[in-house]
Structure formats: C-alpha cells, structure tokens
Amino acid sequence: MQLSIVEIAKPADANVIVGQSHFIKTVEDVYEALVQSVPGIKFGLAFCEASGPCLIRHTGTDASLEQSAVEAASAIGAGHVFVVILGNAFPINVLNQIKSVSEVCTIFCATANPLRVIIAEEGDGRGVLGVIDGSSPKGIEGASDQAERHAMLRRFGYKK
C-alpha cells in the first residue's frame, strides 16, 4: 500500500466539502440538495465513479467552480468520493441537506482552509484515510479571544 497526500486547489474565497457516497445517483441528488438549500447558489460538484467506466461525473451552477471540483476529485482519485466547491454559500448552509442525501455515507471535511487529503493506494484502487484541514492550534483562547468569537458569530447572524 502506498500513502500520499493530495493538496486540494480551490479559489481563494471558496469553501470545499469532501465526502463519500455509494452510488452514481449522488451527482443528481447532491445537485438538487444544493440548489434547494440556497437560492442562486454557485457551486461545482464532482464524483469519482468506482465501477463500470470509472468516470469523474460532474455538474454545477458555475463553470469555473465545476472545473475546480473536477480537478480536486481527479487529484483525490478515490472511488465514490465527491467534492463540492462552494462559491457564494458556506458549508453551514448546505451540510445537513447533503448529509440527508440517502447515498451519502460520510463527510470528511467542510472548510475554507488550505486542505490536504491523505490517500491510500493499493492495486487499482484509492481511498481517503482522512484530511488535514488548515493549521495546528497556536495557543489557547483567552477572554478577549472568547469575546471576539462571540461577537463574530453575532456579526455573521449565527447567534443573537
């Protein structure tokens, strides 16, 4: 078995969701979940088919985000893995809807941070072992950091 790390390239202001499902129907079902979650959402979606022709299936509402999703899925190259690149929405707006899609098995990450995916390769298959999302902690928050966190969540409208 060979282990490798794949860095996911995405537009600077985009968020990425990486998950795994079990069926080609994922492309249409995740598309529907996304467009029903956020009116006017801009995204790209790519899915690595694991049998038959083993194609990277793709769709989206924005051509450049769709291309980014295809490139990320191609770099990962693991069966039944899907990548969503979000433009004008955040994972918090769509994660529950994606998780409710019947063929979605797991979500590895949802982030705007620099992202690396840990890949295991054996024979003619690849799998995702996990992800490295962003950076390691640099300290422990203090009172002023807590106050800023509380204020930021209220500025964004997530808390009252």
Can you give the CATH number for the domain in which 39 is found? 3.40.1520.10
Q: In what order do the strands lie in the sheet with 104-111?
A: 56-60, 43-48, 81-86, 15-21, 104-111
Task: Assess if residue 129 is contained within a domain.
Answer: yes
Q: How many CB atoms lie within 10 A of CB 21?
A: 23
In this prediction, residue 93 carries a pLDDT of 94
Q: In what order do the strands lie in the sheet with 115-122?
A: 2-8, 115-122, 125-133
Number of domains in the chain: 1
Task: Assess if residue 127 is contained within a domain.
Answer: yes
Q: What is the pLDDT of residues 8-28, one digit of tens each?
A: 999 999 999 999 999 889 999
What's the mean pLDDT when you consider all of the chain? 95
Task: Assess if residue 160 is contained within a domain.
Answer: no
Task: Give the mean model confidence (pLDDT) for residues 103-110.
Answer: 97
Residue 158's pLDDT band (cuts 50, 70, 90): confident
Q: What is the pLDDT of residues 33-44, one digit of tens each?
A: 999 999 999 999
| Domain hosting residue 56, numbered range | 2-155
Task: Give the mean model confidence (pLDDT) for residues 72-78.
Answer: 97
In this prediction, residue 1 carries a pLDDT of 94
The answer, yes or no, to whether residue 101 has pLDDT greater than 90, is yes
The model carries a pTM of 0.92
SS (H, E, C) the chain: CEEEEEEECCCCCCEEEEEEECCCCHHHHHHHHHHHHCCCCCEEEEEECCCCCCCEEEEECCHHHHHHHHHHHHHHCCCCEEEEEECCCCHHHHHHHHHCCCCEEEEEEEECCCEEEEEEEECCEEEEEEEEECCCCCCCCCHHHHHHHHHHHHHCCCCC
Determine what percent of the chain is predicted with pLDDT higher than 90.
Answer: 92
Task: Assess if residue 112 is contained within a domain.
Answer: yes
Task: Give the mean model confidence (pLDDT) for residues 145-156.
Answer: 91
Q: Is there a contact between 98 and 50 (Cβ–Cβ < 8 Å)?
A: no
Task: Give the mean model confidence (pLDDT) for residues 147-154.
Answer: 92
Task: Assess if residue 14 is contained within a domain.
Answer: yes
The answer, yes or no, to whether residue 157 has pLDDT greater than 90, is no
Residue 56's pLDDT band (cuts 50, 70, 90): very high
> Under 8 Å CB-to-CB from 120, ≥6 apart: which residues?
1, 2, 3, 126, 127, 128, 129
